[in-house]
Amino acid sequence: MRRIHDHIMGMTMTEQQHEVPAVPERLKRAGLRPTRQRLALAALLFDHGHRHVTAEQLHGEADRRAIKVSLATIYNTLHQFTTAGLLREVVIEPGRSYFDTNTDDHHHFYVEGIGQLVDIPADSVSLASLPTPPEGTAISRVDVIIRIGPAQA
Ligand SMILES: [Zn+2]
């Protein structure tokens, strides 16, 4: 009986670890060496639930925690994490990208003026028709960004 209990507990542990692996494991699985710098940035990104962050915001957070890292390194790391599937890049306009820790399919409200992204569940948006992509290409995913501002009185 004891052995069965241990077995079940062991399975549960393994399943939990599989669902939410520790950051070093997530980096290794993505083929990224878990350097101290990457781990420090990953902790800022992933330790407090889902969020949307710009390179500049992350740079500011690192600075406040005395993590010495250049903005160029922040950009490189964010793009490496994105390529590895740990983040999703949301491009608002050329030169303005947010990095989303929620990589599941979903859409966004963009609050203009404040510059904030708010998640919209994937099933809250339905598209009646999509254009045919240019020859030789296929649609890889559809991201909807709905730009919002204060309601007019
Ligand atoms: Zn999002």
Q: How does pLDDT run across 118-150, given as a tens digit for each residue? A: 999 999 999 889 999 999 999 988 889 999 999
Split at pLDDT 50, 70, 90, the class of 7 is: very low
Q: How far is the CA of 98 from the centre of ligand 1 (A)?
A: 9
Phi, psi of 109 (to 5 degrees): -85, 140
pLDDT score of 47: 86
Cα of 87 from ligand 1 centre, angstroms: 10
CB 42 within 8 A of CB 23: yes
pLDDT (0 to 100) of residue 20? 60
What is residue 15's predicted lDDT score, i.e. its pLDDT?
A: 42
105 alpha carbon to ligand 1 midpoint, in Å?
A: 9
Q: How far is the CA of 35 from the centre of ligand 1 (A)?
A: 27
- The pocket of ion ligand 1, defined by CB under 5 A, consists of 100, 102, 119
CA of 13 to the centre of ligand 1 (A): 28
Sign for the CA dihedral angle at 2, 22, 25, 67 comes to negative
CA of 143 to the centre of ligand 1 (A): 10
Tokens, residue 59: 């740079």
Whole-number Å distance, alpha carbon 91 to ligand 1 midpoint, is 12
What average pLDDT does the chain have? 86
Q: What is the pLDDT of residue 73?
A: 96
Q: How would residue 17 be classed by pLDDT, with cut points 50, 70 and 90?
A: very low
Listed in sequence order, the residues at least 6 apart from 7 whose beta carbon sits closer than 8 Å to its beta carbon are none
More confidently predicted of 137 and 15: 137
Give residue 14's pLDDT band: very low, low, confident or very high (50, 70, 90): very low
Contact predicate 48/33, CB 8 Å: no
pLDDT at 79: 95
C-alpha to C-alpha distances, 114 to 15, 38, 102, 117, nearest whole angstrom: 40, 29, 21, 9
Which one-letter amino acid corresponds to residue 124? Answer: S
Average of pLDDT values for 56-66? 95
